[in-house]
Amino acid sequence: MNANAKDIWVFVETAPDGLAACGIELLDTAAQLADAYGGASVAVVAGSADGTAAAEAALCGADRVVKLISGALSGVSTDTYAAALSQLMEGGRPAALLFGASPLSRELAARMACRLRTGITTDFTAARIPSGSDSIVWTRPVFGGAYMAETTCSGARPQIGVAKQNAFKRGGSARPAVETVEAGGSLSKIAALCALREFVPAAGDGDLSIEDAQVVVAGGRGVGSAEGFGQLRELAELLGGAVACSRAVTDADWMPNSALVGQTGKTIAPKLYIACGISGAMQHTCGMEDSDCVIAINKDPEAPIFEIAKYGVVGDLNAVIPALIEEIKRIRA
C-alpha cells in the first residue's frame, strides 16, 4: 500500500457478525480533513475476512478501503491490531489516524500513540484544519460538557483522534474498490501470547445495550428504589428499548454501572429518550442531549430536564408510567 502523508485513515472495527462495529461513522469527517490536505480518506477495516464491513465502508464516504485480514487478529487483544496497523504504515504514515469510541478502539488508539511517539486527542466531537495550517484542530468537551476546548497535536505524525461516543453519524457516498492486505510477520506469536482461554459473559450480556437502543427509558433518584425500575423495564420492553439511569441510581446500587448515562457513564443518542424522575443535572444531560426526542416526567415543574425536553409531563412517575403502559397495551390490542 502506498501511503500518502496527506491521507486520513480511519480504523473501522468489525463486530463478530462481520458488520462494521465502530469507526465507520467517522468517514465523512475523514473525507473533509483529507480534502483540506489534498489527500484521500482511507478506511482500514480489520478483523473480518468475509468483506461485509469493508463493503459497508465503501458506501460511507471513504475514498479508499483497505481490508486488513489475518487469522491472528484477536478481538480480545489490541496487540495484534497494533502490530498489523504498524505493518501497514511501513510504506509511509498518514497525516492522521481516527478511531471510534469502543473499548477496543480506544485502547488501540493509545497503543498506536505510544508506538508512533505521537500525540492523541480523546472524545473529539469535531475536527478541522485552519487555512494555512498543517495541524488538525480537535474540538472536545471539558468540565462535564459545560465548555468546549480546542486542541492540536504539533510536531509528530500521524495525529491521532478518538471520537466521543455517538458524536458522529454515518454518511454515504463513493463506492471505491476494496483492497485486501494480509498481515503477517510476528502477529501469530503475539496472538499466541494473548490467546483467549475462557469467555465468561457479564451479567445481562445479550440484552440490548443502551448504546444500540433506539428507545431508552431512563430513571433517576425519583424512581425511589430498585424495585421501582420494574415498571421502567416493562415500558422499555413494550417500546423495544433499553433501560438506563443517572449517577444517583448507581450510587444507590439500584442499577449496574453499564446502564449509567452521563459524564462518568455512557454517551448515547437514541431516537427517543424518556427521562423518569431525573432532575436534569449537567453531569447527566451531557450524556444524552443529542437524543432526537426527549420526554421528561418529573414532579418538579422547575426541573432542569424540562429545558431540553421536547415533551414534558409534570406529575408522579408512579402514576404516569403505569397509565402510559396501559395505553400502549390498549392501542396494540
Check whether 205 has a pLDDT greater than 50: no
Residue 172 pLDDT:
72
- Which pLDDT band holds residue 49 (cuts at 50, 70, 90)? low
Omega into 94 within 30° of 0, i.e. cis? no
Q: Residue 3: pLDDT above 90? A: no
Beta 126-128 vs 137-142: how paired, if at all? antiparallel
Contacts of 206 (CB under 8 A, 6+ apart): none
- Please provide the average confidence, as pLDDT, over all residues in the chain: 85
C-alpha cell read off for 148: 468546549
Instruction: For residue 103, give its domain range.
Output: 8-193
Question: Does some domain include residue 73?
Answer: yes
CB 28 within 8 A of CB 8: no
Residues facing residue 203 across a β-bridge: none
- Confirm if 67 and 181 have CB atoms less than 8 A apart: yes
Look at residue 169 and tell me whether its pLDDT is greater than 90: no
Count how many domains the chain has. Answer: 2
**Are 105 and 181 in a shared domain?**
yes
Q: Are 164 and 266 in contact (CB under 8 A)?
A: no
The phi, psi pair for 179, rounded to 5°, reads -100, 130
| Residue from 286, 289, 217, 287 nearest 255 by CA | 217
Q: Confidence band (pLDDT; 50, 70, 90) for 46?
A: confident
* Number of C-beta neighbours around residue 289 at 10 A: 16
Q: How much is the pLDDT for 178?
A: 72
Do 175 and 293 share a domain, yes or no? no
Evaluate whether residue 208 is within a structural domain: no
Q: Are residues 234 and 157 in the same domain?
A: no
Percent of the chain scoring above 70 in pLDDT:
85
Are residue 286 and residue 324 in the same domain, yes or no? yes
Same domain, 189 and 222: no
Instruction: Assign 333 a pLDDT band (cuts: 50, 70, 90).
Output: confident
**List of residues 6+ apart from 26 with CB closer than 8 A:** 10, 98, 99, 100, 163, 168
User: What confidence tens digit (pLDDT) does each residue in 98-121 have?
Assistant: 999 888 899 999 999 999 999 899
CATH of the domain at 167: 3.40.50.620
State the pLDDT confidence band at 170, using cuts at 50, 70 and 90: confident
The stretch 302-321 carries a mean pLDDT of: 95
Quick check: is 122 in a domain? yes
Average pLDDT over residues 190-211: 60
pTM over 0.85: no
**For residue 201, is it within any domain?**
no
State the pLDDT at residue 292.
93
Q: Are residues 36 and 180 both part of a single domain?
A: yes
